[in-house]
Amino acid sequence: MKRGFLESTFVGFARVVTRAMISEETARRRGLLQALDPRVRVVGLFSLVLAVTLSRKISVVVALLTVAVAIAILSRVSLFVLVKRVWLVVLGFTAVIAVPAIFVTPGDPVATFGFLTITEQGLRTAAMLILRVETAVTFTTLLILCTPWTHVLKALRAFRLPKEAIAMLAMTHRYVFLLVETASQMLESRRSRTVGILKPAAQRRMAARTAGVLLSKSIELSNEVYLAMQSRGFRGDIQILSDFRLDAWDYLGLTAFLLAGGLAVWMGR
């Protein structure tokens, strides 16, 4: 049966969630990033993202992108996944903003197409924008692909983010899977009882009802979860246990990240 727009949107969302689960497979592989303490990964990769945004020279951003690819290879991240899920997608979005810059940035003309003139400065601006975004997103993606979500959360705890905010992030991540599963079952159940193709208006009504039922279920679930928390002693202030330990390898990794970031900022002035 042909899927409607809303159903296709939901299927797409479910696919993204499934991908998030698959990414944990990469996080379990033995590699450069995986061997480092999650806190080092968070600080190190964000320092490189900061270096990307502060660098003003294309050559330095290209060098940082090369570093990102090297880290990906050493961390056993599939370059195919990186190209397909990051570079092409980011290129599509960034090009929308970057392409007009080629024509509207004043400077030395390189080529003219009718009333449109491509300038050297325009090409540099567009290339810089695309390269910066591609490189920054690659570093961020490497963190997500090589670190289980639970470790990212624990690392954030170490940086003294409010416990409540982290607990909300953790529970959102935890229950989004359950709600996607529930919604998926509801859609399957509806499809199994639907004969023929529904008209768009009927599809919209059905989707609205499904969303309403899902909302009721999620409210009921949140009430139940709160009772389960209370039952085990929760009194409004979440207590946590941090069991990370830094070793020599982590200090070495952190130093390398910070040196690379600092060098890039200095050279890219």
Partner 1 sequence: MDGKVSWTMPVLFELQDACFEYDGIPALRGLSLEIAQGERVALLGANGSGKSTLLRILDALHFASKGSVSFDGQRLTPELFQRDDYALAFRRRVALVFQNPDVQLFNPTVFDEVAFGPLQLQWPKETILSKVAEAMELMGVTHLRDRPPYRLSGGEKKRVALASVLVLDPDVLLLDEPTATLDPRSQSQVVDLIQEWKGSSKTVITATHQLEIVEDIADRVFVLEEGRVAATGIPPEILPNYELLLRANLVHAHRHSHGSVIHSHPHLHSHSKHEH
Among 58, 73, 229, 258, binds partner 1 (CB under 8 A): 229
Using the rule CB under 8 A, which residue among 150, 184, 203, 218 binds partner 1? Answer: 150
Is 89 near partner 1 (CB under 8 A)? no
Residue 144 touching partner 1 (CB under 8 A): no
> Shortest gap between Cβ of 100 and partner 1 (angstroms)?
43
Q: Interacting stretch for partner 1, rule CB under 8 A, among 45-53, 124-132, 221-229, 256-264?
A: 221-229
What would the two tokens of residue 100 be? Answer: 């007009």
What is the rounded distance in angstroms from the CA atom of residue 164 to the CA atom of residue 179? 22
Q: Which of 22, 79, 89, 171 binds partner 1 (CB under 8 A)?
A: 171
- Which residue in 105, 148, 198, 203 binds partner 1 (CB under 8 A)? 148
Nearer to partner 1, 20 or 211 (CB): 20
User: Does position 228 bind partner 1 by CB under 8 A?
Assistant: yes
Q: How far is the CB of 174 from partner 1 (least distance, A)?
A: 6
Nearer to partner 1, 120 or 220 (CB): 220
Q: How is 62-87 classified by DSSP, letter by letter?
A: HHHHHHHHHHHHHTT--HHHHIIIII
What element of type H or E holds 150? helix 149-158
Q: Is 258 in the site for partner 1 (CB under 8 A)?
A: no
- Interface with partner 1, residue 170, by CB under 8 A: yes
CA distance 125 to 103: 11
Those residues whose C-beta lies under 8 Å from the C-beta of residue 114, and which sit 6 or more positions away, are none
Name 40's Cβ contacts closer than 8 Å, sequence gap at least 6: 246, 250, 253, 254, 257
Which of 46, 87, 103, 177 binds partner 1 (CB under 8 A)? It is 177
Cβ closer to partner 1: 14 or 206? Answer: 14
Closest by alpha carbon to 36, among 242, 257, 241? 257
- From residue 69, give the alpha-carbon distance in Å to each of 8, 64, 144, 148: 33, 9, 15, 20
What is the Cα–Cα distance from 142 to 140, expressed in whole angstroms? 5
Establish if 1 lies at the interface with partner 1 (CB under 8 A).
no
**Tokens 């639970």 label which residue?**
150
Q: Which residue has the tokens 């050559």?
A: 59
- Which residues, including other chains, have CB under 8 Å from residue 228's CB and lie 6 or more apart? none
Of these, 227, 246, 252, 263, which contacts partner 1 (CB under 8 A)?
A: 227
- Identified binder of partner 1 from the candidate list 124, 234, 244, 258, rule CB under 8 A: 234
Apex CA 15: angle with CA 11 and CA 17, to 5°? 115
Q: Among residues 88 and 227, whose Cβ is nearest to partner 1?
A: 227
CB of 243 to partner 1, least distance (A): 8
Residues that bind partner 1 (CB under 8 A): 21, 148-150, 153, 170-171, 173-175, 177-178, 221, 224-225, 227-235, 238-241
